[in-house]
Amino acid sequence: MLTAFKEKIIRVFKNHSLPRWLVFIIDSAVVFFSFLVAYMLRYNFEVSALNISTVFRQSYLVLFVYVIFILVFKSYSGMIRHTTIRDTYKIILTNFSALAVLSLVTFLSRKNEWSFLFNIPFSILLIHFGAVTILLFLFRVFVKLFFEFASSSSHDGKNVLIYGSGEMGILVKRLIEGDPKNLYRLKGFIDDDKKIQGKNLDGYPVYSRQVLTKDFIYDEDIKVFIIAINNIAPTKKKEVIESMIQFGCDILDTPSFDTWMNGHLEVKSLKKVKFEDLLGRDPITLDLEKIQKGLIGKTILVTGGAGSIGSEIARQLTRFNTKQLIIVDQAETPSFYLGEELKSRLPDCNFRIVIGDVTREEYMEKIFRKYKPDIVFHAAAYKHVPMMELHPHEAFRVNVGGTKIISDLAIKYNAEKFVMISSDKAVNPTNVMGATKKICELLVHSQSKRKGIKTEFITTRFGNVLGSNGSVIPLFNKQIADGGPVTITHPDITRFFMTVPEACQLVLEAGFMGNGGEIYVFDMGEPVKVLDVAINLIRLSGLEPYKDIKIKVVGLRPGEKLYEELFSMDEPMIHTHHPKISIAQVASYDFETLISKIDMILGSLNKMSETKVIEEMLEIVPGYTTNKAFTL
């Protein structure tokens, strides 16, 4: 029964903190009664020597003065269980200020022969100052120690290491200690600063990263590793995550300050690190002035605007002072959710959601006629390689046909710029999707060479975008959530990766570089093995590859490469002023010949066999190879 009562007391104490009004009352009571004790001490507890009436009247005066400074310096407002040096400083400042005022009152009283009420012996004031300071301090220490005892009495929380012992690390430490659910239990800090390694911080040891071995993690039963450093460099973050990912711990990240709820960090705000953090890519520096100058007061049209890339381009565009944003997509549901998001986040944003298919020429022209866009970002396309291998007709109709319609309308309605989103699969294509994208590149490049047109045509080329619809990361995460297996097509297959915001920021930057006709290629960093991606995602989920989650090799899909390329052999690379953007120098293609060929295919598309469609694309696209089972 005693144990149950003790556990109930501890549970109540952990789940509730002392309200400020109660702390204020307790502090005031300490001030009042310690003054009475100070008088007793001064007169050796000889009550007969005291004028009780005067003592009580003076105690009220002392309480009044102390209360004023308690309210001024708010020494009662700190969370007692997390008392710090700053809180102690407030108590000392409050008490010293009150002592100074009361001493001055006593001095003036004696000099001017005021009432005995104001003539308090200096010795009593000093005794009272010492007593009240010690008692207030001990009260806070007692509460803090009792809370730590209550926290340490529970063994339900997961053992935690915090990487970073600076301000953010201390903040996370307090967050853990103050969590009523007691999800975590701190075991120590990890810090790279040799000056504090081996020391204790707020009662917890500070280790170097060299202690992070399998034996240490096992012996200390570490389940969670929290990164708590402000503005940690991406390369450093990658290094830290890689040093921990092998141990099967949950690796959590502390969000940036601007994402905190009402400026306060909460335990639920600590999120698992993402695969993107393992890329270690530095933030992109944009020429915001140039982009703003190109967008201010303009009407912008984004096709495929509800897709992964199109929707992010739309979000990025809302940062700039545009006149109107027109978002076109045939997908109803994603368009609805994007519209709701923009209305919620940016109620003043002037945007329109238009449901429509870019291959419906008359309807697209109606949109151009109505809104007269100044700048067009063309992101509408089919992009799934295996699906397009099975549907070459649709791939050509939508990717090539849609690009032709939108680019022609951009010229007809005098759009200033036309920016097309291409793919690294357009380089030496081995699949239908890549071949259609290469034809789109040739088409857009040829459009830019036509005489007498005012529209600047820009092509942007990049690789896989993390988290985009149908990309490998969401697929792997779903397979892991389902218990596996995680399927990869080949153990040696590699891919380039970048994040959606990163890709779209570079699209905006490239859109306002050069004079038109360029194919801008983005720096994707080093190619990453897809097998390593699978292994890291499993470990980031706190599971063991091959043990908890199987990895299954299913063989290359039709048209799939072992590795992707960003430049072909006949495309010399030209550097630009932006370190992450280069230009692929491509040979000109006769526009009339290309358009004639495209029109012929589009006009006869429904009459052609799959073999015939691919044969026609092989004639247009240099470097296109296919493993389709037919002979030309």
pLDDT of residue 584: 84
pLDDT of residue 84: 59
pLDDT-based confidence at 337, cuts 50/70/90? very high
**Which stretch of 367-371, 470-474, 597-601 has the lowest confidence by average pLDDT?**
470-474
Residue 123 phi, psi (nearest 5): -65, -40
pLDDT of residue 4: 55
pLDDT-based confidence at 631, cuts 50/70/90? very low
List of residues 6+ apart from 296 with CB closer than 8 A: 320, 321, 322
**Which stretch of 218-227, 491-500, 565-574 has the lowest confidence by average pLDDT?**
565-574
Global pTM reads 0.70
Tokens of 284: 């992109």
**Hunting for tokens 């730590």 — which residue is that?**
148
Q: Which H or E run includes 534?
A: helix 530-540
Q: Which class for 547: exposed (0-12), middle (13-18), buried (19 or more C-beta within 10 A)?
A: exposed
- Give the Cα-Cα-Cα angle 364, 368, 370 (nearest 5 degrees): 115
pLDDT of residue 630: 46
The most confident of the ranges 197-201, 408-412, 484-488 is: 408-412
pLDDT of residue 632: 38
Choice among 425, 437, 438, 580 that is catalytic: 425
Exposure b/e, 396-419, CB count within 10 A at least 16 = b: bbbbbbbbbbbbbbbbebebebbb
pLDDT-based confidence at 78, cuts 50/70/90? low
pLDDT of residue 10: 54
| pLDDT reading at 151 higher than 60 | no
Give the separation between CA 560 and CA 419, rounded to whole angstroms.
27
In tens, the pLDDT along 170-198 reads 888 877 777 666 778 888 898 888 888 88
Domains (range + CATH), the chain: 2-151 (no CATH), 155-273 (3.40.50.720), 288-465+498-522+568-620 (3.40.50.720)
% of the chain exceeding 70 in pLDDT: 87
User: Which residue type sits at 57?
Assistant: R
| pLDDT reading at 412 higher than 60 | yes
* Residue 325, beta-bridge partner list: 300, 351
pLDDT of residue 8: 56
Answer with the residue of higher pLDDT: 456 or 542.
456
pLDDT-based confidence at 244, cuts 50/70/90? confident
**Which stretch of 61-65, 343-347, 469-473, 497-501 has the lowest confidence by average pLDDT?**
469-473
pLDDT of residue 47: 64
pLDDT of residue 397: 95
The most confident of the ranges 253-257, 269-273, 302-306, 314-318 is: 302-306
pLDDT of residue 265: 67
Radius of gyration of the chain (CA): 35
List strand residue ranges (DSSP E) for 106-164, in order.
158-163
| pLDDT reading at 229 higher than 90 | no
Answer with the residue of higher pLDDT: 364 or 152.
364
Residues 497 and 464: beta-carbon distance below 8 Å: yes
pLDDT of residue 528: 84
| pLDDT reading at 407 higher than 70 | yes
Residues 281-309 have a mean pLDDT of 83
pLDDT of residue 364: 95
Residues 11-28 have a mean pLDDT of 69
Please state the separation of Cα 457 from the chain's center in Å. 33
pLDDT of residue 49: 61
**CA neighbor of 432 nearest in space, from 392, 468, 467:** 392
Please state the separation of Cα 7 from the chain's center in Å. 39
Give the separation between CA 40 and CA 46, rounded to whole angstroms.
7
Give the separation between CA 414 and CA 372, rounded to whole angstroms.
8
Residues 42-54 have a mean pLDDT of 70
* Residue 457, beta-bridge partner list: 418
In tens, the pLDDT along 194-213 reads 888 888 887 788 898 888 88
Answer with the residue of higher pLDDT: 523 or 412.
412
195 is catalytic: no
DSSP output for 378-392: E------HHHHHH-H
